[in-house]
């Protein structure tokens, strides 16, 4: 499947086509809709280069929220380690 971005929209964004692709990839990765592999593919970058872009933008590579923490605590209690 292909997505067509009109020249008008691209021009209005003030971005090059590569930058536009990268911005979409960064956003979809950040909200958890694309994995690192797919996001780097969309951005047409090697995963290592895409990781550097994430670092420059202060976007974490991994998401660890309260639910993850609570699950870790539960598992540690069940294992007798807490």
2 part of a folded domain: no
44 part of a folded domain: yes
Nearest to 21 by CA among 46, 51, 43, 39: 43
73 part of a folded domain: yes
Q: What is the domain range of residue 43?
A: 7-79
58 part of a folded domain: yes
33 part of a folded domain: yes
pLDDT tens, residue by residue, 4-21: 999 999 999 999 999 999
- Give pTM, 2 decimals: 0.79
67 part of a folded domain: yes
Number of domains in the chain: 1
- Output the average pLDDT for the chain: 95
34 part of a folded domain: yes
Other CB atoms within 10 A of residue 38 CB: 13
1 part of a folded domain: no
């Amino acid at each position: 499947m292909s997505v067509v971005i009109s020249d008008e929209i691209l021009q209005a964004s003030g971005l090059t086509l590569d930058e536009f692709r990268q911005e979409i990839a960064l956003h979809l990765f950040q909200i958890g809709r694309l994995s690192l592999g797919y996001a780097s593919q969309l951005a047409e970058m090697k995963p290592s280069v895409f990781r550097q872009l994430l670092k420059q933008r202060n976007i974490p590579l991994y998401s660890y929220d309260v639910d993850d923490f609570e699950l870790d605590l539960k598992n540690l209690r069940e294992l007798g380690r807490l």
